[in-house]
A and B are shown apart, each in its own frame.
Chain A
Amino acid sequence: MTGTETTSRGPGLRAWRALIAHEGRMVRRDTAGLVIPLGLPLLLLVMNGNGDSPPVPGLGGMSQQLAYVLPMVIVLTIATVGVINMPSFLATYRRYKILRRLAVTPARPAMVLVAQAVVGLAQAAAGIVLVVVVAALLFGLSAPADPLGLALALTLTTAAMFALGMLVAAVSPTPNAALAIGLVSFFAMMALGGGFGPRGNLPDGVAAVGEYLPFGAGLDTLMAAWTGGPLDITQLAALAGVTAVAAAVSARLFRWE
């Protein structure tokens, strides 16, 4: 209880903290919603991490199989939180007029979007730490060859997935639609991006599209950064481009009620 300052001041840090903590509780209590983003990547890692493949040259023993599977489950974690879970929360809030209720307080409904994104980031970070720790414990993980490149690829992939999630939330009329649109976008990106098997198995044209959608671009750049290969600048640019376009369109189209 600090302030009795002027009445026209906007909500302060205290409101932001309280709202982020609140959204954190909402996400944590949605137990079913924790299973996919945290459980599925872990399962895929454990089932596939130990393939019988030669080590990546010059990387201290990490297998080529793990060098593909780990970046894949990292992108999977980010995508499930950003493109499936977050829009589903926001569409539910709109449906039940929770955003509208906030609009008649000094808090702005846009604060909820930010708070959800912050909580989503924390959840994705927790999921990433989980798969990295398990990979290290079970499968002989090597340290990333290009930590700065990895940070860049991780940041751009996360930004692109979360911006896409905001776009899904913006255009979905109902919670059900948000879930359906989120799942379809997610599976399409994952299939085209190499999440269900190497992109080499896809027809050339389809594979080329998948390479520049966030899943494929994220997977390739993370893998390259971890193993010391060159980062493809056009894929990084594609991630940045998706972020910019999705963010701009969702800001324009977002329906508050």
Chain B
Amino acid sequence: MAVIEVRDIHKRYGETIAVDGVDFDVEQGEIFGVLGRNGAGKTTTVEIIEGLRTPDTGTVRVLGLDPVRDRRAVRTVLGVQLQEGTLPDKATAGELVRLYRSFYADGADPERLLGELGIDDKRDTFVDELSGGQLQRLSIALALVGRPRVAVLDELTSGLDPRARRDTWDLIEQVRAAGVTILLVTHFMDEAQRLCDRIAVFDRGRIAALDTPDGLVARTHATGATLDEAFLAVTDSDSLDDDGAEIGGIALDDVLGSAGTDGTDGQVRS
């Protein structure tokens, strides 16, 4: 059974079409990547899965539950890590993990979780004194403290140095190894390639391609193509079978250069 089922969802804000017919399944135990530029519909789609927004049409099920109607039940099985800046400065890491633990009837032991994430020595450190990597570990701890069966991780490694990114990737693989299904939202090709079993490439509110990382690369028909090129090929040409890796005049920097600074679907937010 699919852990997350998304069926033909649409969402518009006024004149702006944010999500225009998105359809996919996330299977038990996989790391499923949601890849795309700002404004491609990633964040809105994920917010609909989290129950923070209601689709105009279409349905979403998380372990068979409706995120809006079965709100409470979904909250107990779905762990969410939001983009940065969602924690109060003057709380310590340990206090926050214990606070979030109290929200769940069943969950992880806060002290052990901090240890597993390698931040047990930071338990008495205030949020505003944590480094980017430590903060990211804390936000992962908060997503996992209720022992979710599904975790949504959003822009997990934005703003981290290369070392901290790699450590975070290892961590995600450990989480998956513990049996948690993961929906990973990212701007970064290398991250998607390294971690994801399958990737949905979002473009203009739709899924332009859904495949394994290797499958996406193979679509470019170019030898030695990278996932970057595959991404550009599927988001810039109308036909996936378009011959060759059409990069369509958009420089790689245009796509990737702005990544990681903003991390929201800015203009489609109301």
Residues of A near any B CB (own CB < 8 A): 3-12, 14-15, 17-19, 22, 25-26, 29-30, 93, 96-98, 100-101, 103-107
Bound complex: CA of A18 vs CA of B115, how far in Å?
22
B105 contacts A4, C-beta separation under 8 Å: yes
Contact A22 B75 (CB under 8 A): no
Q: What are 29 A-B residue pairs whose CB atoms fall within 8 Å in the complex?
A: A3-B106, A4-B105, A7-B73, A7-B76, A8-B72, A8-B76, A10-B72, A11-B103, A15-B102, A15-B103, A17-B102, A18-B98, A18-B102, A22-B95, A26-B88, A26-B91, A96-B87, A97-B86, A98-B87, A100-B52, A100-B82, A104-B75, A105-B75, A105-B80, A105-B103, A106-B76, A106-B103, A106-B104, A107-B103
Q: Say yes or no: B105 contacts A3, CB within 8 Å.
A: yes
CB-CB nearest in chain B for A95: B85
CB distance from A98 to the nearest CB of B (A): 6
Give bound CA distance, A119 to B227, whole Å.
52
In the bound complex, do residue B82 and residue A97 qualify as a contact, i.e. CB atoms below 8 Å apart?
yes
* A105 CB contacts on chain B under 8 angstroms: 75, 80, 100, 103-104, 146
Taking a contact as CB atoms under 8 Å apart, the answer to whether B75 and A106 are in contact is yes
- Tally B residues with Cβ within 8 Å of A: 29
Which A residues are CB-close (under 8 A) to B177?
none
Residue of A nearest to B101 (CB): A18
B70 at the interface (CB under 8 A from A): yes
A5 partner, pick from B77, B88, B105, B142, beta carbons under 8 A:
B105
A-B contact count (CB 8 A): 80
The 3 A-B residue pairs with the shortest CB-CB distance in the complex, in nearest-first order: A18-B102, A101-B86, A104-B80
Interface centre among A3, A25, A101, A107 (most CB of B within 10 A): A101
Contact across chains for A104 and B82 when beta carbons are under 8 A apart? yes
| B residues lining the A interface (CB < 8 Å) | 50-52, 70, 72-73, 75-78, 80, 82, 85-88, 90-91, 95, 98-100, 102-106, 142, 146
Smallest Cβ distance from B262 to chain A, in angstroms?
A: 14
Contacts A7-B76, A26-B88, A97-B85 aside, 14 further interface pairs with beta carbons under 8 A come to A3-B106, A7-B73, A7-B77, A8-B73, A14-B102, A22-B91, A26-B90, A96-B88, A97-B82, A98-B86, A104-B52, A105-B146, A106-B72, A106-B146
Report the minimum CB–CB distance from B205 to chain A (whole Å): 21
Task: Find chain B residues with CB under 8 A from A97 CB.
Answer: 82, 85-86
Residues of B within 8 A of A18 (CB): 98-99, 102
A7/B90 in contact, CB under 8 A: no
For residue A5, which residues in chain B have a CB less than 8 angstroms away from its CB?
105
